[in-house]
Amino acid sequence: MREVKVDLTGLHFPGAPLVRGELPGPKAKELLAAQQGLESNVFKYPRVIPLVPEEARGATIRDVDGNIFLDFFAGIGVLNFGHSNPQILAAARAQEEKIIHALDFPAPPRVELMRKLKEIAPGELRGHAKVMFGGPSGSDAVEGAIKLAKLCTGRHALLAFSGSYHGQTAGALTLSSGRSYREKHLPLLPEVHFAPYPYCYRCPFKQVPQRCGLLCLNYLAELLRDPYSGLAKPAAIIVEPIQGEGGVVVPPDGFLVELRRLTAEEEIPLIVDEIQTGFGRTGRIFASEHSGITPDFMTLGKALGGVGYPLSGVVYHERWDTVEPGGHMGTFRGHLVAMAAGAAGIDFMLENDLPEHAARLGELLLAELRKLQQEVLQIGEVRGRGLFIGLELVKDRETKEPNPELVKAVQLECFERGLLVWSAGRYGNVVRIMPPLVITEELALKGLEILARALHGLTKRASR
């Protein structure tokens, strides 16, 4: 493995983590109470981690009371290039001085970002990509991809996978499998089906992990080919190359390759949702590159806006460009500051070879976590790629009974020691580790040490 020499040390607040006293501190308490009184009951993150951020740099966040936290969740994959990255901010500020909004007129940052996306797109999309900007959120990109697929094929049905998450707008929500998100909003889009995702730790076919001959894929092939399966031929199949919300579930080798082969044979467009996995997160610019596949449509969001600006889009092969002018509209399909930041973010990622940095650090963290797994019996599985890592926590390794309570306790314990980690998983029992890719080895290991201490402390307490 090539060692990348990048000096990312100056991007973070020095001295992290630094906890000055009891958390939340006095100013944080005041703002948390204010939020409670003012904001819709819908807010969620501060209910788990009572963080009140004031300023952030690189992989560190300073709260209103001056405590400095290590950030191991990067806004769930938004801040791949680091909080307030000065190089990207400079590009954004320069654009802000010129023009901020221009609908879809071809202002320079719009064209520049599309050119860069075309250059870095995976597989055969490289050099042949078209870009369609949606509204600002990832869900908007998913909506756009659904519309494109329906237009291109003249079909209506859609197929997604169990464990999937594709967003919260009506179409995207229909493709997201979590019952708790969906069931109060039914009916959603008609003719949407789910096939089993190869979640090998909890194999849907109860097979020995990795040695099943890709049963999930065979089952899907049956569904598609059997005229009596009840499934209408889909306009598209949407897949996360590694499931994020579903628990950082890495499919076995060959799954995406075979899925690509099957969808090509059946003439079904494949939408690869890279909203969470894109822009270096998994050790490649896009996670589909690990399998060498070419998506028909690739949805992007989160890190696309460079430094936290909301921006999303669909990148697809020019042969699918059948949408009519105005066939997908939206006032905010082009925020020029976000586009300038996105273009600068891609430059920063390439100049510093962040995917390689993520790959190297990821291997180091995975190795350390596997050692920890030998000491902490509640760690059922350690998995991931690059800086996208999941620790699946269980009550007992034999029964694999999920342990979401332990994940919540770990999050709080880590917070109190100056580390921010988020959760994931169908049962909420996965610790999701996804720091900004600019994190240094030193900071990553510091964070890991805090996580290890929290896990040791909590599991000893639990087994007493």
Residues in contact with ligand PLP by the rule CB under 6 A: 76, 137-139, 142, 165-167, 240, 244-245, 273, 275-276, 301
H or E element, residue 430: strand 430-433
**Which is closer to ligand PLP, CB of 144 or CB of 244?**
244
Return d(Cα 202, Cα 15) in angstroms, integer. 41
Q: Which helix (H) or strand (E) holds 131?
A: strand 129-133
Q: How far is it, in rounded angstroms, from Cα 244 to Cα 274?
A: 10
| Least distance CB 428 / ligand PLP (angstroms) | 15
Answer whether 428's CB lies under 8 Å from 404's CB: yes
Residue closer to ligand PLP, measured from CB, 277 or 378:
277
Q: Give one DSSP letter per residue of 274-319, joined into a string.
A: -TTTTTTTTSSSSGGGGTT---SEEEE-GGGGTTT----EEEEEGG
452, burial (CB in 10 Å: exposed 0-12, middle 13-18, buried 19+): middle
Q: Side chain identity at 46, as an amino acid letter?
A: P
CB of 168 to ligand PLP, least distance (A): 6
Q: How far is the CB of 222 from ligand PLP (least distance, A)?
A: 26
Phi, psi of 415 (to 5 degrees): -55, -45
User: Which is it for strands 297-300 and 270-273: parallel, antiparallel or unpaired?
Assistant: parallel
Return the number of the residue (13 or 422) whose C-beta is nearest ligand PLP. Answer: 422
Based on CB atoms, which residue is closest to ligand PLP, 165 or 348?
165
Q: What's the number of CA atoms in the CB half-sphere (13 Å) around residue 194? A: 17
User: Under a CB-based contact definition with an 8 Å cutoff, are residues 148 and 295 in contact?
Assistant: no
The span from the CA of 82 to the CA of 22, in Å, is: 27
Q: Which is nearer to ligand PLP, 107 or 131 (CB)?
A: 131
Judged by beta carbon, residue 131 or residue 458, the one nearer ligand PLP is 131
Q: Which of 276, 403 has the CB closer to ligand PLP?
A: 276
Nearest residue to ligand PLP on Cβ basis: 138
Coil, helix or strand at residue 159:
strand
- Our CB check for ligand PLP shows the closer of 173 and 450 to be 173
- Taking the least distance from each CB to ligand PLP, the nearer of 71 and 245 is 245
> Tokens at residue 340, please?
């300038």
Calpha distance 80→26 (Å, rounded): 31
Specify the 3-state DSSP secondary structure of 359. Answer: helix
User: CA of 370: how far to CAs of 95, 364, 387, in Å?
Assistant: 45, 10, 15
